[in-house]
Chain A
Amino acid sequence: MSTRNAGLILLLATLITTLLILTLGSLPVADALRATPVAEGHTELEPQGLLRLAGLVKPLLFMGFSGGLTLLILKGSNSLSRMRKNRRS
Chain B
Amino acid sequence: MDADLSPTPSRPPKTTNTTRRNWQLDVLLFVVFMLVSAPLTTGIPLHEWLGLVIFAPLFYHLVWHWKWVAGVFTRTSRKLPPHTIFAKWFNLALFFMMLLAGVSGLMISEALLPMLGWMVGPDNFWLTVHKASATLMMLLIGLHLALHWPWILQRLKRQPTGGTTR
Contact = CB atoms under 8 A, between A and B. Distances in A.
Contacts of B34: 56, 59-60
A71 B153 CA distance: 13
Contacts of B103: 18, 21-22
A62 to B, nearest CB: 4
Contacts of A59: 33-34, 37-38, 138
A86 interface: no
A58 B63 contact: no
Interface string B114-147: 0000000011111111000001001111110111
A63 B96 contact: no
Interface string B55-82: 0000100110011011000000000000
Given A3-B63, A59-B138, A62-B138, A21 B41 contact: no
Interface of B: 1, 33-34, 37-44, 47, 59, 62-63, 66-67, 69-70, 95-96, 99-100, 103-104, 107-108, 110, 122-129, 135, 138-143, 145-147, 149
Given A10-B63, A53-B41, A63-B142, 19 more contacts: A17-B96, A21-B100, A21-B103, A25-B126, A30-B125, A31-B125, A33-B124, A34-B123, A38-B127, A43-B44, A46-B43, A51-B40, A56-B37, A56-B41, A59-B38, A63-B139, A65-B139, A67-B142, A67-B145
A70 B146 contact: yes
Contacts of A39: 124
Main SS of chain B's interface residues? helix
A10 B139 contact: no
Contact of B40 (A17, A18, A45, A62): A45
B88 to A, nearest CB: 14
Interface in A59-82: 59-60, 62-71, 74
A42 interface: yes
B126 A66 contact: no
A54 B135 CA distance: 16
Given A56-B41, A66-B140, A71-B146, A42 B110 contact: yes
Nearest to B66: A6
A29 to B, nearest CB: 8
Contacts of B126: 25
